Amino acid sequence: MPQRNLPENLVFWTISLTWFFYAFGALYVVGPVISWSLAGLGFLSLYLGPGLRPDLRPTGSVPPIIWGWIGGMLVMLVALWVGHFDWGLGMGQTIKSSIGWAKGWAMVALVPFAGAILKIRRDVVIRSQCIVGACTVALLPILLVAPSIGLPEKIFVSPLKAVGGPGPEYFSVYFYTLDPSSWTPRWQFYAPWSPFAGLLGVVMVLFALEDRSRFWMAMGILAGLAMVFFSKSRMSLVALFVCAVGPRMMPLLAKSAAWQLAAGVAASMAALGTYLLQAVQDAVSAFKGARADSTRVRETLQRIAYERWQSEAVWFGHGTVQPGPHVVEYMPIGSHHTWYGLLFVKGLVGVWALLVPLVWQFWIVAVDSVKGRRGRLPLGIVLVFIILSFGENIEIEAYLLWPALLLLGIHAREMERDRVPAGSRKA
């Protein structure tokens, strides 16, 4: 697939070389660098406009949803500063946390902005993700056989960890890891831990389903399924069904037959509702019991974060995560859950700064998915983010999610083109 301009070249090769960058423990550095580079090109494109060559000119004005994300993430930064000031964390910690914001929450706004302004085709992003899938399939045999032939779990930790980050796992290269509850191998591929790898596999499947080539589609789907199943992530199994099937069912909402069927199902709930409710409760209990220790730690972290937010820092939070007690294995309070994490770190202000643009984005892609297939992939991506937010911290994983964020920006640009008359668009 030929790339037509500088932004497409940057996107295509940065995504396609994911495994190459991972081999050097460089992904945590590459993600913010490419995100800020693309955003810089976007700002330059808007500023210079006609002064640039045609392939670098902006595609149009900034869509309203992108302004929503930019505004929300700037509010995040303000909440961070206020929280640090309230708790007297000092200038050094404030600067460090602001750099963390630039490598996390800022990317949630900057990458969609770049996708909305720069001339990047969605097909280029889709194909490059499938190329990553093909590389994953090629490496799968050695990854799966590694525990059996005595290869080490961790290969090395990159010296790039000197640039700073949430932890050494972001710069580590693994063959596999051992689950401490069962001492069986789990695979995390190019992610810092297995559950996140599973959700990246779901994103891989969603992209692959949109590729026009049967070969590349097969590579992406096979790789995505491998990441979901070999990561042994419960959340990813749920997300795979919800995010792949849900968007494809949305056009039914525009058909009267679907509403008639729904009415019949709703009526039948009077007789079957009790049994179905019990079945759902049993399924949830089995889901949590599959890895009871992990569930216990997560629930305890969430309870501590909520109680301390409620009693100590309602509006702007504590400014930063804090070490947890022994009962949660010393995991940081404010981790493992985006919403409880926001409450603890940035308070109600931080929660609303994410909730408003996320709900707005969901509404946009949901409506578009009802109208046609263009909205299927963006809706699947938003559903992944929503599911991810209840088990992970989105901001510290944005460095691997930037291709998905870029697609949301591209979709916003496509919808803006439908809304703005052709004669009023910029070159």
End-to-end CA distance of the chain: 24
Helix (H, G, I), strand (E, B) or coil at 53: coil
Q: What is the mean pLDDT of the chain?
A: 87
- The b/e string for 353-377 (b: 16+ C-beta within 10 A; e otherwise) is bbeebbeebbebbbebbbeeebbbb
- Per-residue pLDDT of 139-173, as tens digits, reads 999 999 999 998 999 999 999 988 877 888 899 99
For 89-103, how does the pLDDT look when each residue is reduced to its tens digit (9 = 90+)?
999 999 999 999 999
- In the prediction, which pLDDT does 412 show? 95
In this prediction, residue 287 carries a pLDDT of 47
Q: What is the DSSP string of 242-258?
A: HHHHHHHHGGGGG-HHH
Q: Give one word for 330, left, alpha or beta, with left for phi > 0 and alpha for psi -120 to 50.
A: left
pTM: 0.90
- Give strand ranges (E) for 188-242: none
Residue 178 has a pLDDT of: 87
If one counts every other C-beta atom within 10 angstroms of the C-beta of residue 281, the result is 10
Q: Does the structure show a pLDDT above 80 at 21?
A: yes
Separation of alpha carbons 285 and 280, rounded Å: 9
Residues present in the chain in total? 427
Q: Shortest CA distance to 64 belongs to which of 309, 361, 354? A: 361
CA 368 from centroid of its chain's CA atoms: 20
Residue whose pair of structure tokens reads 């295509």 in the numeric block: 12
Distance of CA 137 to the CA centre of its chain: 22
Angle between helices 27-48 and 6-16 (to 10 degrees): 170
Question: What mean pLDDT is predicted for residues 2-24?
Answer: 92
